[in-house]
Amino acid sequence: MSNKFKKAIEYFSKLQGIGPRQASRIVFALLNWPASEIKAFARAIDELESGITFCEECFNLSEQTRCQICMSAQREREKICVVEKIVDLQTIEKTGLYRGLYHVLGGAINPVEGVLPANLRINELVNRVKTLQVNGNGLVPEVILATNPNTYGETTALYLTEVLTPLSIKITRLARGLSSGSFLEYTDATTLQNAFKNRR
């Protein structure tokens, strides 16, 4: 196998959920593309690094300092839905049910893998809530904990509840009914909508 081929497989294997066999299948498929398409694909990847940054408010993907959700006048600004990853935010957005803002933590507490509270954007969340309390026109902020319904997500939700409780805000967690041990990103829209409606 050529080194070029091996290198490409190595990169695709780094993606979550893609094993070496799938990676080599992807590389084989790419080799069937016209050269111009492969070049365009390479350019798109190259541009990812230069064109996209993170929203300084919620850490969603953004091409400006604040993302479209944070800039929108249509969103309920007193609600902050806390998710582990950007993909979770996108999953919730697709349901079209939620009209508040988000906060992307950057993962879940997982000491085995070296992810401690200090590695997540928890201070940033606390600061946002405090700012809301000052500038929120008297509305009580609501933080909706939408971390994954698995061990790490639950641990993170508990930790956040402890950190946020002294601030006297409304703290809710997505309802049970999300199958435990799973991930938001694989949850279907109807289940997710119900989990939002029945949050407490």
Task: Output Rg (C-alpha) for the chain, integer angstroms.
Answer: 20
Candidate segments 10-18, 58-66, 92-100, 137-145, binder of Zn ion by CB under 5 A: 58-66
Q: Cβ–Cβ contacts within 10 Å for residue 126, how many? A: 16
The residue among 159, 11, 144, 158 whose CA lies nearest residue 78 is 144
Candidate segments 20-28, 62-70, 84-92, 154-162, binder of Zn ion by CB under 5 A: 62-70
Instruction: Calculate the CA 10 to chain-centre distance.
Output: 25
Candidate segments 26-34, 49-57, 72-80, 170-178, binder of Zn ion by CB under 5 A: 49-57
Two structure tokens written together for 66: 């604040």
Residues in binding contact with Zn ion, number by CB under 5 A? 6
81 binds Zn ion (CB under 5 A): no
Closer residue to Zn ion in complex, CB, 58/143: 58
88 binds Zn ion (CB under 5 A): no
Tell me if residue 76 falls in helix, strand or coil: strand
Give the one residue of 8, 23, 27, 67 binding Zn ion; rule: CB under 5 A: 67
- Inter-axis angle of helices 189-197 and 86-95, to 10 degrees? 90
Binding stretches for Zn ion (CB under 5 A)? 55, 57-58, 60, 67, 70
